[in-house]
Chain A
Amino acid sequence: MDFSYTEVQQMLQDSVQKFVQKSYDFDTRNKIIGSETGYSADNWQLFAELGWLAVPFSEEDGGLGGSAVDLMVIMEEFGKANLVEPYTATAVLGGSLVANLATGEQKETLLEGVIGGELQIAPALAEPNGRYNPASVSTTATADGDQIILNGTKIAVENGPNADTLLVSARESGEIRDVEGISVFAVEAGSPGVKIRKYRTVDGKQAAEVTLDHVSVAASNRLGDAGAALPGIESALNRSIVAVSAEAVGSLEVLLQKTVEYSKTRKQFGTAIGTFQALQHRMADMFIQCQLARSTVIMAAMSLDSDDSSDEKAKAVAAAKSRVGKAIKSVGQEAIQIHGGIAMTEELDVGHLFKRVTALDLAYGDGDYHTQRFAAL
């Protein structure tokens, strides 16, 4: 039993911390997210140079062979800084979809693009009536000679406005929630029939609603075998859930820390509000929530890195997302409450973190959804 970081993980953590300290203060972060693309292309290049974009991929695929725990280390630091670059969309979920499903040449080009920092991916999995179930796919893929015709609507497509390539799940056969019959297609963002309705999410990030109206792609754009994509999607989602959960844990820790600091300096009734037991116990509870959430993320990351069966892995991941969801609500809301009115403004980073973790709670399924998934497994 060993819960300490390896030397490499320690170095990874140091390197992210150094970057954040040097070039990611609150004002800089706000400028970046307020820019047209909502992320910094320079930072992205730097991430490539530092090897961060290669961490999620096996050495065979040209990556650094990073584990889920490695990913957890990076994401927690990103969460502390409320970093806005689309790391999860492109390098974790997008990249893992390619790594899990694609074969041969296609994999090589796409992953080279991701690792080199030249390619932005937008995974397009969710649909208007599918909630968080990746098997709930009604977008259709119909063969037409050598081509495949895609029709349907995808929602909450993270990184959609900046993507070069969309990874679209579509059904080639079967009924709406059938396990079989789903494929993932790489679709160029500019393809005829692809309509990208851009928007900003509540936490200021870039997303889109994507409609596919008779979009024609070559059969070679299908990642892997026809109709067999679901296990690869689920495995990519498991990794992404660990990533966003770790990000949330980092953000929650900062919310707790800022709340405690604020309570030491804010004076009312002639004394620091942190001396009031009514608030102290609530902050103690925030600490407990942070610790429990962290424990489940560690559990899930270790499970993904182990020989556990795919059901065991899915169950550990579902437990983590469920538990983190609970912590997000309580720690996030208490941070706002204890700060009082000032946290209702854009002026303080606390509100920005609160909005971010609220979005993270929904990412790839909220707590309730994953509790149900846990119970069903």
Chain B
Amino acid sequence: MNADFTAEELAFQEEVREFLQNEFPADLKAKVEASVRLDKDDMVRWQKILFKKGWAAPTWPVEYGGTGWSHTKTHIFATELGLYGAPEPIPFGMKMVAPVIMAYGSEEQKQRFLPDILESNVWWCQGYSEPNAGSDLASLKTAAVREGDEYVVNGSKTWNTLGQYADWIFCLVRTDNTVKKQEGISFLLINMKTPGITIKPIVLLDGFPEVNEVFFDNVRVPAENLIGEENKGWTYAKVLLTHERTNIAGVPRGKRRLKALKRIAGETEDGFGASMLENASFKQRLAEIEIELQALEYSELRTLAALSVGKAPGPESSILKIVGTELAQKMDEMFVELAGYNCLPFVPEQFESGFDGDAIGPGDSASAALTYFNNRKLSIFGGSNEIQRNIITKAVLGL
């Protein structure tokens, strides 16, 4: 039993580190360090740098232009990116729709969509949730009715992340009302520029319209945009949901944030003549968080080791999701605590690209509450943490 990397893996780790130092743009690094949100151009620019290197799609097979890396190498890559502060690929194209197209799409669909995802020429977004279909996703109502060689789509999708940037949306739509709800759903790709689509931003607690509501009013979609067979969409989506999600635990980001917590705690007075880092209560809680992060890291490594010997990703990914998100949220609380009064100024524009006014508060302290608010989403999305507990209940405990 050991947690060591092989010589080849260590060399690869070194290569990734060097690459990041040389190729991750300095202006993006500065933004990340100042908690400034990366905009679409930033993310596409970085993604194209990765593409040039051949590292755009770590989890894709080689035949589609992926790296064909082992699980461990993919893990090393994600870890180094996270530690350095470089963003992972926007998941909607690369990790969400592409695997479905690869598994169930026609040859024509593969040729048409995959290269643009790989090169980041096209931005995808997700059309799953609806106002009345959240955790009970299969109860979705947005309807696609076949008319000749077209589908006519009516309904609305919500919590559509960064859809304001998107060129295409992949949707779960209802194509049969007469069967069990899971059996009447299809997987449809829709161009966002199609007439009848309107998009309405939803401003979240941190002041940023990170998500949208998307309305479909008699939107005519070519039938060739259907993935696989009609009414099999739920099966495809489920495969996608259990598709291996790298870095779901967020350990590298957690490590980077822990370092920041320690640095800020050392610079912040506790009001009793010591720093927050020396404050007994804060110190104890910080240690607990660091220990939890190690527990999470070794749980992730155990999962990774199981994957590496060919075991299917099991309910472990539910543990990693629950623990990883709850830990990230605890860290958010501690950033708020450290910022104290300095987390009160609500100036979200200060953390958008191009802000050149006078910053309020020391460092990025005014981002602490914004991040705390925004990250409440972590335990809600991607299958809420309660849904993850249902999965454990069923898959592991057999209840």
With A and B bound together, what is the CA distance between A305 and B3 in angstroms? 11
Contact with B291, one of A260, A306, A371 (Cβ below 8 angstroms)? A371
For B283, list chain A residues within 8 Å (CB).
Answer: 375
Q: Which of A273-324 contact B (CB under 8 A)?
A: 274-275, 277, 280-281, 283-285, 287-288, 291-293, 295-296, 298-299, 301-302, 305-306, 316, 319, 322-323
Which residue of A263, A292, A323 has the most chain B CB atoms within 10 A of its CB atom? Answer: A292
**Which residue from chain B places its CB closest to the CB of A306 in the assembled complex?**
B2
Find out whether the CB atom of A260 lies under 8 angstroms from the CB atom of B392.
Answer: no
Find out whether the CB atom of B302 lies under 8 angstroms from the CB atom of A287.
Answer: no
Task: Assess whether B322 is interfacial by the CB under 8 Å rule.
Answer: yes
Classify the interface of chain A: helix, strand, loop or mixed. Answer: helix
B59 CB to nearest A CB, Å: 18
Find out whether the CB atom of B389 lies under 8 angstroms from the CB atom of A280.
Answer: yes
**Which residue from chain B places its CB closest to the CB of A299 in the assembled complex?**
B298
B324 CB to nearest A CB, Å: 11
Find out whether the CB atom of A322 lies under 8 angstroms from the CB atom of B299.
Answer: no
**Which residue from chain B places its CB closest to the CB of A281 in the assembled complex?**
B389
Q: Please judge, given known A-B contacts A283-B393, A284-B392, A302-B3, whether A275 and B298 are in contact too, CB under 8 Å.
A: no
Using an 8 Å CB-CB cutoff, how does the interface string of B1-18 with A read, 1 for contact, 0 for none? 111110000000000000
**Which residue from chain A places its CB closest to the CB of B293 in the assembled complex?**
A319
Find out whether the CB atom of A372 lies under 8 angstroms from the CB atom of B298.
Answer: no
With A and B bound together, what is the CA distance between A292 and B392 in angstroms? 15
Find out whether the CB atom of A1 lies under 8 angstroms from the CB atom of B305.
Answer: yes
For A287, list chain B residues within 8 Å (CB).
Answer: 319, 392, 396-397
Find out whether the CB atom of B295 lies under 8 angstroms from the CB atom of A375.
Answer: no
Q: Which of A318-338 contact B (CB under 8 A)?
A: 319, 322-323
Contact with B399, one of A264, A296, A316, A374 (Cβ below 8 angstroms)? A264
**Which residue from chain B places its CB closest to the CB of A296 in the assembled complex?**
B295
Q: Please judge, given known A-B contacts A1-B72, A4-B309, A281-B393, whether A374 and B290 are in contact too, CB under 8 Å.
A: yes
With A and B bound together, what is the CA distance between A260 and B301 in angstroms? 27
With A and B bound together, what is the CA distance between A1 and B386 in angstroms? 32
Find out whether the CB atom of A371 lies under 8 angstroms from the CB atom of B393.
Answer: no
For B102, list chain A residues within 8 Å (CB).
Answer: none
With A and B bound together, what is the CA distance between A281 and B385 in angstroms? 10
Which residue of B283, B291, B309, B393 has the most chain A CB atoms within 10 A of its CB atom? Answer: B291
Find out whether the CB atom of A323 lies under 8 angstroms from the CB atom of B393.
Answer: no
For B308, list chain A residues within 8 Å (CB).
Answer: 1
Find out whether the CB atom of A372 lies under 8 angstroms from the CB atom of B301.
Answer: no
**Which residue from chain A places its CB closest to the CB of B398 in the assembled complex?**
A260
With A and B bound together, what is the CA distance between A260 and B395 in angstroms? 13
Find out whether the CB atom of A375 lies under 8 angstroms from the CB atom of B286.
Answer: yes
With A and B bound together, what is the CA distance between A306 and B292 in angstroms? 22
Q: Which of A141-155 contact B (CB under 8 A)?
A: none
Find out whether the CB atom of B284 lies under 8 angstroms from the CB atom of A263.
Answer: no
Q: Which of B272-305 contact A (CB under 8 A)?
A: 283-284, 286-288, 290-292, 294-299, 301-302, 304-305
For B296, list chain A residues within 8 Å (CB).
Answer: 292, 295
Find out whether the CB atom of B292 lies under 8 angstroms from the CB atom of A372.
Answer: no
Task: Assess whether B140 is interfacial by the CB under 8 Å rule.
Answer: no
Task: Assess whether B21 is interfacial by the CB under 8 Å rule.
Answer: no
Interface range on chain B (Cβ under 8 Å from partner) = 35 or more
For A2, list chain B residues within 8 Å (CB).
Answer: 1-2, 305
With A and B bound together, what is the CA distance between A352 and B284 in angstroms? 31
For B399, list chain A residues within 8 Å (CB).
Answer: 260, 263-264, 274-275, 280, 283
Task: Assess whether B173 is interfacial by the CB under 8 Å rule.
Answer: no
Task: Assess whether B328 is interfacial by the CB under 8 Å rule.
Answer: no
A77 CB to nearest B CB, Å: 16
For B5, list chain A residues within 8 Å (CB).
Answer: 1
Task: Assess whether A19 is interfacial by the CB under 8 Å rule.
Answer: no
A319 CB to nearest B CB, Å: 5
With A and B bound together, what is the CA distance between A339 and B324 in angstroms? 29
Task: Assess whether B121 is interfacial by the CB under 8 Å rule.
Answer: no
For B284, list chain A residues within 8 Å (CB).
Answer: 368, 371-372, 375
B294 CB to nearest A CB, Å: 5
Contact with B295, one of A263, A295, A301, A371 (Cβ below 8 angstroms)? A295
B286 CB to nearest A CB, Å: 7
B137 CB to nearest A CB, Å: 18
For B319, list chain A residues within 8 Å (CB).
Answer: 287-288, 291-292
With A and B bound together, what is the CA distance between A293 and B296 in angstroms? 10
A255 CB to nearest B CB, Å: 13
A261 CB to nearest B CB, Å: 10
For B171, list chain A residues within 8 Å (CB).
Answer: none
Task: Assess whether A69 is interfacial by the CB under 8 Å rule.
Answer: yes
A2 CB to nearest B CB, Å: 6
Task: Assess whether A3 is interfacial by the CB under 8 Å rule.
Answer: yes
**Which residue from chain B places its CB closest to the CB of A375 in the assembled complex?**
B287
Using an 8 Å CB-CB cutoff, how does the interface string of B356-399 with A read, 1 for contact, 0 for none? 00000000000000000000000000000010011011001111
Find out whether the CB atom of A3 lies under 8 angstroms from the CB atom of B291.
Answer: no
For A374, list chain B residues within 8 Å (CB).
Answer: 287, 290-291
For A3, list chain B residues within 8 Å (CB).
Answer: 1, 3, 301-302, 305-306
Task: Assess whether B323 is interfacial by the CB under 8 Å rule.
Answer: yes
Task: Assess whether A5 is interfacial by the CB under 8 Å rule.
Answer: yes
For B393, list chain A residues within 8 Å (CB).
Answer: 280-281, 283-284
Find out whether the CB atom of A5 lies under 8 angstroms from the CB atom of B389.
Answer: no
Q: Please judge, given known A-B contacts A2-B2, A374-B287, whether A280 and B301 are in contact too, CB under 8 Å.
A: no
Find out whether the CB atom of A4 lies under 8 angstroms from the CB atom of B1.
Answer: yes
Find out whether the CB atom of B397 lies under 8 angstroms from the CB atom of A299.
Answer: no
With A and B bound together, what is the CA distance between A292 and B300 in angstroms? 10
Q: Which of B236-269 contact A (CB under 8 A)?
A: none
Using an 8 Å CB-CB cutoff, how does the interface string of A358-375 with B read, 1 for contact, 0 for none? 000000000010011011
Find out whether the CB atom of B323 lies under 8 angstroms from the CB atom of A288.
Answer: yes
**Which residue from chain B places its CB closest to the CB of A288 in the assembled complex?**
B319
With A and B bound together, what is the CA distance between A293 and B187 in angstroms? 41
Find out whether the CB atom of B302 lies under 8 angstroms from the CB atom of A295.
Answer: yes
Find out whether the CB atom of B294 lies under 8 angstroms from the CB atom of A296.
Answer: yes
For B309, list chain A residues within 8 Å (CB).
Answer: 4
Q: Please judge, given known A-B contacts A1-B2, A281-B386, A287-B392, whether A372 and B305 are in contact too, CB under 8 Å.
A: no
Find out whether the CB atom of B294 lies under 8 angstroms from the CB atom of A319.
Answer: yes
Find out whether the CB atom of B292 lies under 8 angstroms from the CB atom of A298.
Answer: no
A-B residue pairs in contact (CB < 8 Å), sample of 6: A5-B1, A274-B399, A283-B399, A284-B389, A296-B295, A299-B298
- Residues of B participating in the A interface, judged by any CB pair closer than 8 Å: 1-5, 72, 283-284, 286-288, 290-292, 294-299, 301-302, 304-306, 308-309, 316, 319, 322-323, 386, 389-390, 392-393, 396-399
In the complex, besides A319-B291, A319-B294, 8 extra interface pairs with C-beta distance below 8 angstroms are A5-B1, A280-B399, A281-B390, A287-B396, A295-B297, A295-B298, A319-B290, A322-B287
Which 3 A-B residue pairings sit nearest by Cβ, starting from the closest? A295-B298, A375-B287, A284-B389
